[in-house]
Amino acid sequence: MPTFDAEVTVRRTRFMKQSSGWAVIEAVDDDGKPVVLVGPLIHLEERDRARVLGTWVDDSRYGPQVKVSEAHPLPPSDAESVKALLRRVKHVGPKRADRLLEMYGASGAIDALDRDPQAAFAAAGLRRGRADQAAESWNSMRAIRRLHMLLAPHGLAYLATRIHNEYGPSAHTIVSGQPYELTKVFGVGFHLADRIARGSGVPRSSPDRAAAGVLHLLTEAERAGSTCMPSDALLAGLRDLLGPDCGAPMTEAFIYELVADGALERESDWVYRKQTAELEAELARRVAEMLIGEPSQKLRYPDPAAVMQTGLEPNRAQLEAVHNAFTKRLSLITGGPGTGKTMSIRAIAGCAVAQGAKVVLVAPTGRAAIRMGEASGVRARTVHSALAWIPGEGPEHDEQDPLPCDLLIVDESSMANLELMVTLLRAVGPSTSVVLVGDADQLAPVGAGKPFAELVASGRVPTVTLTHIFRQAAGSMIVQGAHAIRRGAAPHFTPSSEMRRDLFMIERLNPFQAREEIVSLVVERLPRHYGLDPVKDIQVFAPVYRGELGIDALNEALREALNPGGETVMGGRLRIGDKLMMTGRNLHEMGLMNGTVLRLVDEITSSDGGDGEAALVLMGDEATFRLPPEETDRLRLAYACSVHRGQGIELPVAVIVAHPAAGAFFLRREMLYTALTRAKVATVVVGTQETVARAARTADTGRRHGRLAERLARGTDG
């Protein structure tokens, strides 16, 4: 293939993807000849000049393109390009950009600003405070330009802004001298840092490389739900990651060195990241303290008549749950759909309120909190709202300022990972009782640990398992199907006369026909039949991202049908009106959690924002958010999503992809069970019954390593 090596000027960005830095750009070379560039180009903007290296390819759909390997930004030379650059500086609009060009000329403006930006901006008419802020903005842009030059040869220039935001003025030194430090930056994993290190001449045998590899493996284990790894498995993974003959230290002695340096913690054969070990130990300690503590003095065990006044006609298990709530500081309620968890919450909350106790109800997601409040008659909030999370500071309620309540009830507790559970229990005062409610059979939460399921399995915490399916729920095919899946059996899709038909199977073996069926269901038939909003009230769940029935293909097809004319933003990646989901690490300070479903309603640019800051405006269930540009790479289309990311969703209709061409191997019992129970009105499965049956009988055998129960046993036995 012919090579390409030329200086170009960017005309327009057709498409870009923040998470990977990949973009499609229209440009012209110095002879004015148009060229389409494809590759790691997200750092280039309209009117930017760059030296581009790559190879010509002939795409079957889009014709000749240059597949870019490197794109080195060049300083602007003509007046319009310099003016465009100046307008990116904070507080510098068109008039002041023109003024700077008049004073210094196109060839001298950048040099003048590099020499003394405060003086140049002051001379252009900015008052002292704004001139200082403009100078800070210019210095930041200059630092990012230097990073571009350093990262471009590795195809990683798109990471420059993210790295600069993390390290500030020292970013250039970090990249060139300590590249593995970059693994602490969101989106810069071990493999990217390793590419930069290779380009900087760091040897494969470097102990820093090995240390970064260990932390990478532990971090990946946490993303898969573990809190720790056995040392032999960790070292085996390290050899696979680094290469067995690279010469890097990969021994038990090296692990002990990292422990001594404070990066890791080791207990017997188990190795943790230090922060995670501390969280797990803290949770075990807090639970142990609550198990020997007295319940709130405001709570008295209610008689059966008081319980029935709340509308609950309790069975024996529910009476035990009520008893635990009023006589123990910590208790658990677990059970499948239709077993009375919500009515138990209502009874416990109602009886406590009737006794004059102050009750706080919380759930991890906005929708769960709304449903909890409607069912109980007591206002419910999200965990982050209840904790009064302050941007940039953390939760207002903690050990020093606990939640002002006598009883705290947490619904959907199975969704809380280790970090969230610890943060919540820190805010529990010494005279507050806690009831955790959830379904231990659901998918484990996103992130390290599965504390609710581990507490249930430990046998140390007073626990009631609800198994009786109440008459109203027993008539639901969804509920009966879910309980069948829990037993490892396939759900029945043929209704009997006494069953409510809310579970459907549509068999489509051809994957293209299956995708067309899903689009037709979501866009037309289901909204028309049930009177629903196709974006707000229907969610598609799929096991994998790639393929004709993968999440990516489904999202593109559904967006084209549901939001074809939405105004494009973020280089065409998103459209106003899109259904989106927050991914990656939780933004606690904003109350935006991994898995939050949002609607994109507006884009505010730096020129029209009231406070001068650019942002995307997003609408959630309970609030509207302004997301700064540097965080927007966390947004993903969410017309379709994975079950893991959507496990907090509860809405009228769910459409589940269960098809041999859609990652049938990855569709397991817990995933199918969780997806099936997301809907309140109807669940439609598209695919094949054999795929459904296979998933139901195949439990998730992936090991999640955690030692909460072991720590708890040690604490309570000691």
Digit-coded pLDDT (tens) for 348-378: 988 888 888 899 999 887 777 777 887 777 8
Confirm if 545 and 552 have CB atoms less than 8 A apart.
yes
Whole-number pLDDT of residue 421: 93
In this structure, are residues 341 and 333 in contact, taking their beta carbons and an 8 Å threshold?
yes
Mean pLDDT of 32-56: 85
DSSP assignments along 125-167, one per residue: T--HHHHHHHHHHHHHHHHHHHHHHHHGGGT-GGGHHHHHHHH
CA-based Rg of the chain, rounded to a whole angstrom?
A: 28
- Asked if pLDDT for residue 611 goes beyond 50, the answer is no
* Confidence (pLDDT) at 609: 40
| Helices and strands (DSSP H and E) totals, the chain | 26, 28
- In residues, how long is the chain? 718
Which region among 6-15, 53-62, 72-81, 256-265 has the lowest average model confidence (pLDDT)?
72-81
Q: Can you tell me the mean pLDDT for 403-418?
A: 90
Q: What is the pLDDT of residue 561?
A: 93
Among 548-557, 674-683, 708-717, the least confident range: 708-717
Looking at the predicted structure, is the pLDDT value of residue 638 above 80? yes
Q: How confident is the model at residue 616 (pLDDT cuts 50, 70, 90)?
A: confident
Residues 35, 56 contacting (CB under 8 angstroms): no
Closest CA to 438 of 517, 531, 546, 365: 365
Residue 426, C-beta contacts closer than 8 angstroms, at least 6 positions apart: 286, 395, 398, 399
Q: CA-based angle 635:639:644, to the nearest 5? A: 70
Per-range mean pLDDT, top range of 132-146, 313-327, 614-628 = 313-327
Q: Residue 591: pLDDT band by 50, 70, 90 thresholds?
A: low
Average pLDDT, the chain: 84
CA distance between the termini of the chain = 71
* Least confident stretch, 66-80, 328-342, 463-477, 673-687: 463-477
Q: pLDDT tens digits for 469-511?
A: 765 556 788 888 888 888 889 998 888 777 788 899 999 999 9
Burial label for 230, CB within 10 Å (0-12, 13-18, 19+), is middle
Question: Which amino acid belongs to residue 5?
Answer: D
Given a cut of 90, whether residue 534 has pLDDT beyond it is yes
Where do runs of H (alpha helix) occur along 459-550?
A: 471-474, 477-486, 511-520, 526-530
Task: Report the pLDDT value the prediction gives residue 608, as an integer from 0 to 100.
Answer: 47
- Per-residue model confidence (pLDDT) at position 717: 47
pLDDT at 610: 43
Q: Is the pLDDT of residue 434 over 90?
A: yes
16 three-class SS: strand
Buried b (16+ CB within 10 A) or exposed e, 486-511: beeebbebeeeeebbebbbbeebeeb
Q: What is the mean pLDDT of residues 163-175?
A: 77
Give the pTM: 0.76
Mean pLDDT along residues 122-129: 84
Share of the chain above pLDDT 90, in %: 28
- Residues 666-694, mean pLDDT to the nearest whole number: 89
- Look up tokens 């030059």; give the residue: 149
CA distances (Å), origin 594, targets 12, 217, 346: 32, 21, 28
Strand order through the sheet with 651-658? 503-507, 679-687, 651-658, 538-541, 640-641
DSSP E strand boundaries for 380-461: 380-382, 389-390, 394-395, 407-410, 433-438
